[in-house]
Structure 1
Amino acid sequence: MTATAALLLTACGSGGSSSKDNNKIAGADTNGTKTSASPSPSSDDGAGRPKITLPGDVQDVFEGWKAGDPKTDPVLADAERRIDATNYALSQANPDEPSLGFYYTGDALVGAAQWVKQAKDAGVVLTGTTRYFNPRVNIYAANSATLSYCSFEGRAYEKSRKTGKINKDPVTNDSYLLYTTRLEKNDKGVWQTNALRSDRGNKACTP
Structure 2
Amino acid sequence: MNRRTMPVTAALAATAALLLTACGSGDDGESKDNDKIAGADQGADNPKKSAEPSATPAEDQPDGVDLTLPKDINLVFDWKKPNDKDEAAALDDARHFVQSIYRGVAEQKANDPAVAAYAMDKGLSYARTQVQGRIDAGLTSTGTRRHFQEKVRKSPNGNAVEVSFCVDSSKFYSKEVKSKKVRKGAPGAASYDFFKIIMSKFPGDDDLWRASVVYVTEKAGQCA
* 1:108-187 equivalence runs, <5 A: 108-140=123-155, 141-187=157-203
Distance 2:36 2:84 in 1: 30
Q: Which amino acid aligns with 2:93?
A: D
Q: Which amino acid aligns with 1:15?
A: G
**Residue deviations 1:131-164 (CA, integer Å, cap 9, x gap):** 0001110001221111110000011100000100
Is 1:54 aligned to residue 58 of structure 2?
no
CA apart distance, 1:42: 4.3
Of residues 37, 51, 56, the one that matches 1:10 is 37
**Residue deviations 1:3-37 (CA, integer Å, cap 9, x gap):** 251695124251259x9xxxxxxxxxxxxxx7312
SS at match of 2:154: strand
SS at match of 1:9: coil
The corresponding residue for 1:103 is 118
**In the comparison of the two structures, how many residue pairs are matched?**
188
Structure (1/2) with the larger helix percentage: 2
Flag the 1:118–1:105 CA change in 2: closer, same or farther, 3 A. Answer: same
> Identity, % of aligned pairs?
22
Q: TM-score, normalised by structure 1?
A: 0.81
Of residues 76, 81, 93, the one that matches 1:78 is 93
**Residue deviations 1:165-205 (CA, integer Å, cap 9, x gap):** 00001100110100011111112341100110111121221
User: Aligned Cα RMSD in Å?
Assistant: 2.6
In structure 2, list runs of 5 or more residues that go unmatched: 1-26
Q: TM-score, normalised by structure 2?
A: 0.76
Structure (1/2) with the larger strand percentage: 1
Q: Which amino acid aligns with 1:139?
A: K
Flag the 1:4–1:199 CA change in 2: closer, same or farther, 3 A. Answer: closer
